[in-house]
Amino acid sequence: MPDTPVIRSARAEDAGAIDGVIRAAFAATAHGYQGEADLVRMIEADGDALVSLVADAGGAIAGHVLFSRMYGEADGAALSAAGLAPVAVSPDRQGRGIGDALIRAGLDALRDRGVAMSFVLGHAAYYPRFGYSPELGARFASPFAGPHFMAMMLDSGAAWPQGGRADYAPAFGRLGQDL
């Protein structure tokens, strides 16, 4: 298909288009836009962005996903983990696998970087297909702990930690204060 997007790393000149996609995608949700584009900028400014990918449809940005550094510990050792948030696809292009492709490419990029785990706070009906598990998430203390807090080992054969603590990057705590 001519407009099948290519998944590639975000570049500095994509910033405005990424902002637009995030605002449009979240504005169309039940919760409305809650500053997710500002969150992306704060995470990047702090140096906590690990993987930032766009879906490039012939030069138009159709979607974006960010994975950011997390802090904490797993079985007493420093946590090696990336949090998935936010992911956004233009409302007029949703439901065609773009979000799926962005998330899978992002998880592969994290594997290439040797990151051990990923966490997400999101819909229990969507994220398990990528390998995220509420059971693994429940082993970690977090301000977001609950049924929507999920985790996965990026090496699917790796043993699960018994427990630990998983904190999102500091920018998440500033969301709503700096806006």
Ligand X SMILES: CC(C)(COP(=O)(O)OP(=O)(O)OC[C@H]1O[C@@H](n2cnc3c(N)ncnc32)[C@H](O)[C@@H]1OP(=O)(O)O)[C@@H](O)C(=O)NCCC(=O)NCCS
Residues that bind ligand X (CB under 6 A): 25-26, 29, 85-89, 94-100, 122-123, 125-126
The nearer residue to ligand X, 74 or 171, going by C-beta atoms, is 171
β partners of residue 152? 118
DSSP 161: P
The nearer residue to ligand X, 72 or 97, going by C-beta atoms, is 97
| CA triple 132-134-140, angle to 5 deg | 100
Work out how close the CB of 115 gets to ligand X at its nearest, in angstroms, rounded to a whole number. 19
Residue nearest to ligand X according to CB distances in the complex: 99
Work out how close the CB of 51 gets to ligand X at its nearest, in angstroms, rounded to a whole number. 15
The nearer residue to ligand X, 8 or 163, going by C-beta atoms, is 8
